[in-house]
Chains A and B, each alone.
Chain A
């Protein structure tokens, strides 16, 4: 007969298994179960799980710092230089293309310019880590194009009319939302586009004969 009190919260364990992506996942889970069965509370177990997930996320971000820097740079550019990027469409000759390519180029060119502007940061970071690959940059750029365009349309579609008087909040809140969305979109595109630094082979130095 199972003693329900001795069973830790199943949802917490499930979250820990899915979100705490480090080598010692099983050992940590076992330790938490062991302590829980020594009369710890469910609240204690949840607190430990949330702290473990947070430390795992932070450790992952510090391990993949080129991607985080790329995402922060791109998101900052989208917020502070977004208008410039949209106005720069005038220099892209989208009108000479037949429909629907003209529409695609028109819609995707701000995203393309944004991710291109931030790519040098990613390239520098990957070079420092010794895992620079031109293919990784190209993949990141291509994957980022539709994601950035989609995020822009979603931000426009779900822009709620702010009934607040014209204060700083009316400017800050949309900017913060835009920054957060663009940050995660660029992070996902660079994560998908680049291989993990742990598994990539180091770049061979070319010798001059």
Chain B
């Protein structure tokens, strides 16, 4: 879950806050993810210093509450690349999965 949220966040760039991250996950995985789960994953990522957050301006459409924008840190990008390498290594050479490669 954290990996998917981090990847969605990186894809969105500067406009990454709860709602678009949730919509990006829906678009990519076909599964609706509750906003509470997204923020729980973002909180864990922030504790591990893989993302940082900044506060935007409050707007009346949000009941006077500000958006919190999230950005991946260098450590977060490094972690994603490392995970991709590990997953690619694990994925390759498995006979049952070889035929499903696109």
Interface residues of A (CB under 8 A from B): 8, 13, 20, 22-24, 26-35, 37, 47-48, 51-56, 59
Residues in chain A near residue B63, CB distance under 8 A: 8, 13, 29-30, 33
CA distance A24 to B69 in the complex (A): 11
A-B contact count (CB 8 A): 76
Contact residues in A for B68 (Cβ distance below 8 Å): 24, 26-27
- Give the CA-CA distance A56 to B53 in the complex, in Å: 19
- Interface of B toward A, CB cutoff 8 Å: 17-19, 34-37, 39-40, 42-43, 53, 55, 58-59, 61-63, 65-68
6 interchain pairs, CB-CB under 8 A: A22-B40, A27-B66, A27-B67, A30-B62, A30-B67, A31-B18
| A34-B39 in contact (CB<8A) | no
Hey, which chain A residues are within 8 Å of B53, CB to CB?
A: 24
Q: How far is the CA of A54 from the CA of B67 in the complex (A)?
A: 22
Pick the contact of A31: B35, B37, B58 (CB < 8 A): B35
Q: Which 6 A-B pairs have the closest CB atoms?
A: A52-B36, A30-B65, A30-B62, A27-B68, A31-B18, A51-B34
Task: Determine whether the beta carbon of B36 is less than 8 Å from that of A48.
Answer: yes
Question: In the complex, are the beta carbons of A35 and B39 less than 8 A apart?
Answer: no
Whether A52 lies near B39 (C-beta < 8 A) is yes
A34 to B37, CA, bound (A): 17
In the complex, are the beta carbons of A37 and B65 less than 8 A apart?
A: no
Out of B34, B37, B39, B62, name the residue touching A24 (CB < 8 Å). Answer: B39
| Interface of A, helix, strand, loop or mixed by DSSP | helix
CA distance A8 to B65 in the complex (A): 14
Structural contact, A51 and B37, CB atoms closer than 8 A:
yes
Chain B residues near A13: list those with CB within 8 A. Answer: 63
User: Interface centre among B19, B35, B58, B66, by most A CB within 10 Å?
Assistant: B35
Q: How far is the CA of A35 from the CA of B23 in the complex (A)?
A: 11
Residues of A within 8 A of B36 (CB): 20, 28, 48, 51-56
Residues of A within 8 Å of B43, CB to CB, are 22-24, 59
A54 to B55, CA, bound (A): 25
B42 CB to closest chain A CB (Å) equals 7
Which residues does chain A contribute within 8 Å of B18, judged by CB atoms? 24, 27-28, 31
Residues of A close to B62: CB separation below 8 A: 30-31, 33-34
- Taking CB atoms, residues of chain A closer than 8 Å to B59 are 30
Closest to B21 in A: A31
Q: Chain A's nearest CB lies how many Å from the CB of B64?
A: 8
> Is the pair B67, A55 in contact by a Cβ cutoff of 8 Å?
no
Separation of A15 and B84 alpha carbons in the complex (Å): 40
From residue A27, how far is it (CB to closest CB) to chain B in Å? 4
Of the listed residues A8, A22, A33, the one surrounded by the most CB atoms of chain B closer than 10 A to its CB is A33
